[in-house]
Amino acid sequence: MTDVDGCLTDGGMYYGASGEELKRFCVYDGMGMVCLQQSGIPCGILTSENSAIVKARAEKLKLKYLYLGVGSKVNPNCLTKLQAAQKICDELGIGLENVCYVGDDINDIDILTAIAKAGGIAACPPNAMPEVRAIPGARVLAHRGGDGAIRELCDEILEKI
């Protein structure tokens, strides 16, 4: 599972002349997630945004799980990312020790901390916020968000199966 902005993208917000929002996704990251799914490993996105762009990207990659509007600091009444991840774990009959999550900002701290404590893979790109990079047990990836960070982990997981 992964966050979007800063992980699947470079974290920038791009706007066209008409005010339309644009995001740049790395095709290598997408192919990594497709390869994981083809190997029987379900993938998903957990993001605080409620974005049609993210929904379109998830549909293109045929991701099994997409949680929009979770972990928002603006809307404290929504599910946390950890709660969303736990729902997915319950559906799959697995624990957090079987989860890999990539996050980069303060709304990812709870899920990354819980996954690291459980023995799962908690990771962040090197452009993550300092508080995220400092989470005990979290791995700082070599690739930046939007530039192959997700693919880096996907390839490592695929090598182990």
- pLDDT for res 35: 98
pLDDT in tens, the chain (161 residues): 999 999 999 999 899 999 889 999 999 999 999 999 999 999 999 999 888 999 999 999 999 999 999 987 667 778 999 999 999 999 999 999 999 999 999 999 999 999 999 999 999 999 999 999 999 999 999 999 999 999 999 999 999 98
- pLDDT for res 130: 98
- pLDDT for res 46: 97
What structural domains and CATH numbers belong to the chain? 14-160 (3.40.50.1000)
Task: Retrieve residue 85's tokens.
Answer: 């991840």
Q: Judge whether 63 and 24 are in contact, CB under 8 Å.
A: no
Residue 130, helix vs strand vs coil: helix
- pLDDT for res 58: 97
Question: Which whole-number Å values give the CA distances from 143 to 7, 18, 81, 101, 139, in the listed order?
Answer: 10, 32, 23, 15, 12
- pLDDT for res 45: 98
Planar angle of CA 27, 30, 34, nearest 5 degrees? 135
